[in-house]
Amino acid sequence: MDSVFIVMYCISLESQTTSNFILPATSYFGKNSLIPLINTINGILYTAVKQQMLRLSGLIGIMEVFCISLLLYDIGKIFWREWCIFFLKKNEIGCLMYMISKNIITFIISSIFHTIGTTGFQVLEQFVITDTSELLNRSLLNTILNIPLLINVWVGPNLAQSIYMPKLDSEQWRWGYGIWAIVLPVVSLPMVMILYLNRLKAKEKGLLSIENNHRMTIRGFIKRLFVELDLVGIIILSLGLSLFFFQLIHEFPLLYNAKPVYIFSILVILLVLCVVFPLWEFYYAKFPIFSKGLFKMEELTIGYFSSFFYFMGFYLYNNYLTTYLYVTKSNSIKRIGYLNNVFSFTSTIVAIFVDFHIYWLTNLQRMNL
């Protein structure tokens, strides 16, 4: 549990630090207007990938998913840092090549890898909470793991400001991303070792529940992943959300000079996907992303609407107000970071009080019974 807490603390600090670099990074490329696009892509991936990462951990194991997430996370950071490293074996001498990309597309691609990797870390956190707590205490334990956020909301912007030197065409933000490609793998080593040792203990006691996928052929394993992860549903959902939000913000580079006929064809495709997706999920998918029963549960429906307005309230000002303050008013990234973190700081404090209240009411009801 201690190793998980350390990893979660580093991820929290990384998030509160690197989130302040997106403004100088997009400013360097002259593409501040693409910040909503980047956040939209990350939100779509978070929606489509998280549940499938949970299923993947059941197929290949938690340790494997954690290592894959760490690899994708590092790929994202390396792309953000824009290092390209390879070794040419000639006379047993390694040659290191350093290459810098000069376009916003590389930055967007790196955010995709980074989001998928971070989602894997969140899956690990939820697995640990599930295995070490009762159902009614999981919300409280989840909040306890988020307590470092109360510290990092102040540490992160200061750290970002100390790394980034606000000079003309400054590229110090690259180091702000790149250092985490080294820090997090080092911090994660104890967690990987613990997962591996627990795997060996479970195997010796005959408690390992993961099926022996190594007995399957590569084709059979890929087919199983394709079916159980509902890749068709993911593709339809991701494509539909992408077309909808890209049309909404109209900031996708391919749509800058698009003709009305092209835009109309996208809307037609979007309507078709809106019909195809529920048909696939309800009648053809063996392991659907959304089952019929989910929409019949009032608690989940209320949760959907609450989450919608919760995130809408944040992104209404996050995407645009911070850009205005940075570009027009020349505010420092530290001050902008404090502004962004007000939402997270307040939400965490409220969550702590609410979870302790739920915990107290639960124990009170048990005593009365």
pLDDT in tens, the chain (369 residues): 667 778 878 888 888 888 888 887 777 777 777 777 777 777 777 777 777 777 777 777 777 777 887 777 766 665 554 443 333 333 332 223 323 445 666 777 777 777 777 777 777 777 777 776 676 777 777 777 778 888 888 888 888 888 776 554 567 777 777 777 788 888 888 888 887 887 788 777 776 655 555 566 777 777 887 887 788 888 888 788 777 766 665 555 455 555 566 667 777 888 888 888 888 888 888 888 777 666 677 777 777 788 788 777 777 777 778 778 877 777 788 888 888 888 888 888 888 888 788 777 776 566 555
SS3 93: strand
Any bridge partners for residue 93, and if so which?
90
- Distance from the Cα of residue 185 to its chain's centroid: 17
Least Cα distance to 117 among 80, 171, 149, 142 occurs for: 80
**Cα gap 321→161, rounded to integer Å:** 19
Q: Are 45 and 194 within 8 A, CB to CB?
A: no
**Cα gap 93→100, rounded to integer Å:** 23
**Cα distances (angstroms) measured from residue 320 to each of 241, 333, 367:** 21, 14, 50
pTM, two decimals, is: 0.74
- Distance from the Cα of residue 368 to its chain's centroid: 42
User: Which domains, ranges and CATH numbers included, belong to the chain?
Assistant: 2-215+320-368 (1.20.1250)
